[in-house]
Structure 1
Amino acid sequence: MTTLAAGPRRSTHTPAHRLTFAHLLRSEAVKVLSLRSTWWSLGVTAAMSVGMSLLIALATSDTGGAMAPTNVILAPTQFTMLVAGILGAIVVTGEYSTGMIRSTLTAEPRRGAVLLAKAMVVAATMMVTTVVIYAVAMAVTAPMMQAPVDWATPADSVVPLGFGVLSMACFTLMGVGFGFLLRSGAGAIAVTVGVLFVLPIVLSLFSIAGPEWMWIVESAKYLPVNAAGALTQPGAQDLLEPALTLAGWVVGPLALGWIALRTRDA
């Protein structure tokens, strides 16, 4: 009697509480896109990107400069990267602060699948938003540029813009990883801003020191923002090293976040 009663409970309980990955993706998309913070973050990113590109185009046209149109579109990334990283962090930590993460993990016990689905949804959202932002920025700055974007030369147009879209997704995924690792909104945001913004400034300060400290300045190229800058530079040739660097900054936090998610209670 005991054996017969225990068998059906084991065979029916797991499927009843396990979602397919497609359902999990839809669930995460609903959660992410229903948050006000998501739309505020995307709105701030769009306003900063288009506004700064417009100001740069106006400034270069007034001074007779000939700044490349692709650089005009990509220049705001050094600021909007912070919003992207913060968005990735708060999407995760918001679930921990409300306790919704427990419901998520009850519906889908495979914690790696939860992390993967959330990362895919947030990255896709940022990539689509960035593509739209670039299109709008190109449209509003085109009348002020001396020359249009040279689409016939991919190295000066498609490649840097494509890496720009990818870089914004990478910054967002870093925030996701730090969010799962730290579970605290303030902590995840602080670490994300520290890595993306503060650390490059700190390393650059060593440029005023003696030659024996130059290795610290040179190591700054392995920071995510500098790797993204190398990838988005029009006409850049050596793309492998910065691409691997940026990928490492994504895989590292996500792997640490996955370990924390697997080993700690929600």
Structure 2
Amino acid sequence: MTAASAPTRARSTSSVPRTARLSFLRVLRSELVKLATLRSTWWSLGITVALSVGIALLIAAASRDFGGDFPAVNAITAPMQFTMLVAGIFGAMAITGEYSTGMIRSTLTAEPRRGGVVLAKAIAVALFLLITVLVSTLIAVVSTAPLLGDAGIDWNDTDASTVPLANSLLAMVAFGLIGLGWGFIIRNGAGAIAATVGLLFVAPIILSLFTIGGEAWLWLVDLAQYLPMGAASTLTSGGAIENAVPVITLLAWPVGTLLVGWMILRTRDA
């Protein structure tokens, strides 16, 4: 009886269609679940909110001594100079953790299309950062309003209110995706974090040192505006944006690093 039923089970198993493929939405859902179940995600996002609101409150309280030319929106956007590092590190850890644990093998086995993996991971990181920065911005706007008083944000002037705030959301997402791109490129947590911090924080400081070198070295100082933080500072400083260079610069860095990471992922085994 057992011997006779074995071929039947074998035939039924072999007749199962093998045309099913993992849809992109399911890949995206799995990436969202991965990030949501990591403690490092909530620590990173919690620190981002705490720094954003805390520094905004300090700047708003001190703004009374800054003079009348201080744009009130800068109290909300200025903390980005610190939270950008947390966003970049969060993006780097989102992928390097998979390389350190070997989970990347399971990911690529389930979804062999490397481009789909990179895109899903990028969307997941962007969504987490977008929601976090939106929440922290709303809290900062409400909590700093009593401190700013009559010198508060003029919501009727979009160039000095909603535009810089929207650009700060874009910048923070870009910083996170730059870290993610470095993670795909280097595939090591310490290396990816070092590269991210170097690009976002160290490089602008180094270029600014050449201001003491005279006019012959000003071209190096001017290069800072083509770094991610230089472009973000221009977009979030308040006032009308005269050209598209900062926007293109801010978008080019995450797109470039992710494209390089995708090409490396295609040519190397996990």
- Greater Rg, structure 1 or structure 2? 2
Q: Does 1:24 align with 2:30?
A: no
Q: In 2, are the aligned partners of 1:231 and 1:239 still within 8 Å (CA)?
A: no
Deviation at 1:149, TM superposition (A): 2.1
Q: Give secondary structure in 2 for the equivalent of 1:236.
A: coil
Aligned-partner Cα distance in 2 for 1:68–1:231:
13
Structure 1 residue 229 corresponds to structure 2 residue 237:
no
**Which residues of 2 match residues 1-266 of structure 1 at below 5 A?**
12-13=17-18, 15-16=19-20, 18-61=21-64, 63=65, 65-66=67-68, 67-145=70-148, 146-266=150-270
In structure 2, C-alpha distance between the alignment counterparts of 1:123 and 1:147, rounded to whole Å: 33
Could you tell me which amino acid in structure 1 is paired with residue 43 of structure 2?
Answer: W
Q: CA RMSD in A?
A: 1.6
- Which residues of structure 1 form unaligned runs of 5+? 1-7
Whether the 8 Å CA contact 1:230–1:236 is kept in 2: the answer is: no
Q: TM-score, normalised by structure 2?
A: 0.91
Could you give the per-residue CA deviations for residues 9-63 of structure 1, whole angstroms, max 9, x where no partner exists? 8x954x44x31011111110000111111100001111111000001111123x3
Identity level (%):
56
What code does the residue aligned with 1:55 have?
Answer: L
Q: Which runs of 4+ in 1 moved over 6 A?
A: none
**Aligned AA for 2:94?**
V
Output the CA distance in 2 between the equivalents of 1:42 and 1:32.
11
Aligned partners of 1:224 and 1:245: how far apart in 2?
7
Give the match's secondary structure for 2:136: helix
Aligned in 2, Cα 1:211/1:133: closer, same or farther, shift over 3 Å? same
The CA deviation string for residues 120-170 of structure 1, in whole angstroms up to 9 with x for no partner, is 010111011101100000111110103332222211111110010000000
Deviation at 1:64, TM superposition (A): 6.7
State the aligned residue count: 255
Q: Which amino acid in the other structure matches residue 123 of structure 1? A: A
Contact 1:84/1:168 (<8 A) preserved: yes
User: Shift in Å at residue 210 of structure 1?
Assistant: 2.7
Taking the aligned partners of 1:236 and 1:224, their CA distance within structure 2 comes to 19
Residue identity opposite 1:193 in structure 2:
V
Deviation at residue 223 of structure 1 after TM alignment? 0.6
Q: Which consecutive residues of structure 2, in runs of 5 or more, have no partner in the other structure?
A: 1-12
Q: Judging changes above 3 Å, is the alpha-carbon distance between structure 1 residues 149 and 26 closer, same or farther for their aligned structure 2 residues?
A: same
- Aligned AA for 2:154? D
Residue by residue over 1:201-222, the C-alpha shift from the partner in whole angstroms, topping out at 9 and shown as x without a partner, is 1111111113211111111110
Distance 1:215 1:149 in 2: 35
Structure 2 CA distance, aligned partners of 1:235 and 1:65?
Answer: 17
SS of the residue aligned with 1:150? coil
Letter in 2 for 1:198: V
1:171 aligned partner, one-letter code: F
